[in-house]
Structure 1
């Protein structure tokens, strides 16, 4: 997509959020885009409401699948909020459900009082992730197993083509490695056969230590769109040895399970394949090309899973 096409997509997503918000009774006067990468995030001023509109997704984009995914996110965030966990909660000014308007699916959230030192994706100490995992263990509803790996990635791996530095041999390796990983990560039963005794639970799904907002009142977790059931190691994949050590230290202090090296290796292999699969998204989001080139080099330098 050209810069002009990207800008037009942002404009259409914003217009859709404004129209949907007004239909729900919000008095929107001046929408302001706060963030625009995988999702367009819009403050529906003067209301203290933020709309998040995914425009590029790694998950299956079929409307019913997207609706279920967004509803899970809203439900989990609302439940965590009732448990006293510091999260950005869904907006109480509109019904707690996804809205589809003009081809865009969106959710509505409370406006966070962002602190001056906030930086997108800047991480926090891994003790926060331990605390979040401890809270999520009590979530009462059923969640799909490792949905970031099992929902959307199969189609992306199948859709890989030689481009942007990705070669035919890379694609052959990726598909073979995906098949070997799928044999142990397709569902709970396969996982437990491969890793007996390792528990699974609700996990945030996308590096919770880096999906936080620094507010004047403290750290808030945000972005639960990849909420899933899996081992806690999924939330630590690709964060590095120091992060894993910090997590294990905090887990030991809480008296809960520390990470399993073999499970972590499998999760990191799956996460690297997710980056490879994201080469299919570059036409929709050209800024991915440079970071994905680095991720490709890292994947090539890593031994194949299995």
Structure 2
């Protein structure tokens, strides 16, 4: 059976992240007397009060000890959000009060952001956000993406390792489901690992910098207006990746925004690919459940839905 983190172990991890963030802030010259946790799921997000700075400390990760790899991704996020802010795009850019670099402290690698007041009474409009995603993509097209890797947001190593590891966790996923996931991965893996294979399979589909982690769900409702946020998985890929698993209503909204921007509409074959790939990432994420036990409950509806869909989302071979 799978061994899950106990509530006390989870609380201890949060406390360690808060202490590390506060110490890192003080080390950078910030006044930190009342660090306050704003969010605690995959990352512990800490307001370093009274300073107007927020630390985001990733804690639930496939390879939490690989701080160099974590920092590499964090640098990409800091660079792209600063660039977007400089272009006038509504985005949460890095804090101007500290150097624009990941900070390593006590076994964590963290990033620092401005504290932004949230419009807590406003409900997110994910369909409208999908249309706004086309605006983000239009802005990102000219980002100098030399450092960005092809579909790094999919993390093929994580998928491969997880599908191997899940044999040991029959309480998380059954044998028939795992067999189907592995067969789907055999079909999809070459297209994820090789840009040239992707381009051969989908000729004419341009690749560009994209958010990487469902931007319609990562628009922050600030008091002064909506802001794009959480570019932790920024990557090079097809725009369809940012719409994976959202469905026809959101796809239609995105296409409205694309027409307004004069950019490419979503391609149905590529959508099938990213939907299938996104489903495998969800299954792979089950291996993080020992670090975050509520994931089993969160992921169950998506996995139940995946069982009802055609093999590899109906993507032709």
User: Normalised by the shorter chain, which TM-score bucket?
Assistant: over 0.9
SS in 2 for 1:51: strand
User: 168, 178, 185: which is aligned to 2:192?
Assistant: 185
SS in 2 for 1:106: strand
* Residue 24 of structure 2: aligned partner: 20
Find the aligned partners of 1:205 and 1:151 in 2 and give their Cα distance: 16
Q: Which deviations, in whole Å up to 9, do the C-alpha atoms of 1:112-164 show, x marking residues without a partner?
A: 12113256x76351221010000010101321111122353332223223333
Asked if 1:209 is matched to 2:216, the reply is yes
Find the aligned partners of 2:33 and 2:126 in 1 and give their Cα distance: 34
* Residue 153 of structure 1: aligned partner: 159
Asked if 1:171 is matched to 2:159, the reply is no
Question: Which segment drifts farther, 141-150 or 266-275?
Answer: 141-150
Find the aligned partners of 2:194 and 2:72 in 1 and give their Cα distance: 18
* Residue 98 of structure 1: aligned partner: 102
Aligned-pair RMSD on alpha carbons?
1.6
Taking a change above 3 Å as real, the CA distance of residues 58 and 257 of structure 1, as seen in their structure-2 partners, is farther
Asked if 1:244 is matched to 2:266, the reply is no
Greater fraction helix: 2
TM-score (norm 1): 0.95
* Residue 226 of structure 2: aligned partner: 219
The answer for unaligned runs of 5 or more in structure 1 is none
Taking a change above 3 Å as real, the CA distance of residues 60 and 53 of structure 1, as seen in their structure-2 partners, is closer
* Residue 260 of structure 1: aligned partner: 267
* Residue 81 of structure 1: aligned partner: 85
The answer for unaligned runs of 5 or more in structure 2 is none
Find the aligned partners of 1:214 and 1:164 in 2 and give their Cα distance: 38
Find the aligned partners of 1:141 and 1:261 in 2 and give their Cα distance: 26
Q: CA deviation at 1:172?
A: 2.0
Question: Which segment drifts farther, 139-148 or 77-86?
Answer: 139-148
Find the aligned partners of 1:77 and 1:160 in 2 and give their Cα distance: 35
Q: CA deviation at 1:110?
A: 0.7
SS in 1 for 2:20: helix
User: 49, 52, 58: which is aligned to 2:53?
Assistant: 49
Q: CA deviation at 1:297?
A: 1.2
Find the aligned partners of 2:24 and 2:199 in 1 and give their Cα distance: 44
Find the aligned partners of 1:60 and 1:286 in 2 and give their Cα distance: 16
Question: Which segment drifts farther, 152-161 or 181-190?
Answer: 152-161
TM-score (norm 2): 0.92
Question: Which segment drifts farther, 7-16 or 183-192?
Answer: 183-192
Find the aligned partners of 1:287 and 1:211 in 2 and give their Cα distance: 20
SS in 1 for 2:104: strand
Q: Which deviations, in whole Å up to 9, do the C-alpha atoms of 1:1-58 show, x marking residues without a partner?
A: 1111111110000000011111111111100000000000000001000000001125
Q: Which deviations, in whole Å up to 9, do the C-alpha atoms of 1:261-292 show, x marking residues without a partner?
A: 00000000000000000110111101111122
Asked if 1:31 is matched to 2:35, the reply is yes
How many equivalent pairs are there?
A: 305
Asked if 1:228 is matched to 2:235, the reply is yes
Taking a change above 3 Å as real, the CA distance of residues 122 and 29 of structure 1, as seen in their structure-2 partners, is farther
Q: Which runs of 4 or more aligned residues in structure 1 lie more than 4 Å from their structure 2 counterparts after TM superposition?
A: 58-61
> Do the aligned residues in 2 keep the contact of 1:60 with 1:152 (CA within 8 Å)?
no
Taking a change above 3 Å as real, the CA distance of residues 124 and 13 of structure 1, as seen in their structure-2 partners, is farther
Asked if 1:123 is matched to 2:130, the reply is no
Q: CA deviation at 1:218?
A: 0.5
